[in-house]
């Protein structure tokens, strides 16, 4: 006679668990770990940064979760709010990006160097480093011919 363990009730306040995949720009491969679907995006970013550092991955990112944004990988749009639940969008694949710091212009006027206030026109912003989406589009658009 086999004894079966009683199944745990999933409604004990823990919620559903998700296996999330987080791609970090510039890293060799994705991070994968299990989270509760009610866990905040900020906590998931923190867990991802700690896991990334523990594995000794490069480039070194730092540990301040306020310097990073989490995007849904398969959906366009804005970054997830740090106060949203990770399971609120129904997605499991994400991209972790470092926030872009405003660039200051420096120019020489009359022999003196003036530093701008970081405000740029939209055309100047398009010429800058760009986002992960533009990088991804450029990478995908490269065609490899076999002959």
Structural domains of the chain in order of their starting residue, each with its CATH number: 17-141 (3.10.20.90)
Any alpha helices (H) in 1-147, and if so which ranges? 41-54, 122-127, 132-141
The residues pairing with 40 across neighbouring beta strands, listed in sequence order, are: 85
CB burial of 21-47 (b: ≥16 within 10 Å; e: otherwise) equals bbbbeebeebbeeebbbebbbbebbbb
What are the tens digits of pLDDT across the range 27-44?
A: 889 999 999 999 999 999
Q: Residue written as tokens 């011919």? A: 145
Average pLDDT over residues 11-40: 88
The pTM of this model reads: 0.62
């Amino acid at each position: 006679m086999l004894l079966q363990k009683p199944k745990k009730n999933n409604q004990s306040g823990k919620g559903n668990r998700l296996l999330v995949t987080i791609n970090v720009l510039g890293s060799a491969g994705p991070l994968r770990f299990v989270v509760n679907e009610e866990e905040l995006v900020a906590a998931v970013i923190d867990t991802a940064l700690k896991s990334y550092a523990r594995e000794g991955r490069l480039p070194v990112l730092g540990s301040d979760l306020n310097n990073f944004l989490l995007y849904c990988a398969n959906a366009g749009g804005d970054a997830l709010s740090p106060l949203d639940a990770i399971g609120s969008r129904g997605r499991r694949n994400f991209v972790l990006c470092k926030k872009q710091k405003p660039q200051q212009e420096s120019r020489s006027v009359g022999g003196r160097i003036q530093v701008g206030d970081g405000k740029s026109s939209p055309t100047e912003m398009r010429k800058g480093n760009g986002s992960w989406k533009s990088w991804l589009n450029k990478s995908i658009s490269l065609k490899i011919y076999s002959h």
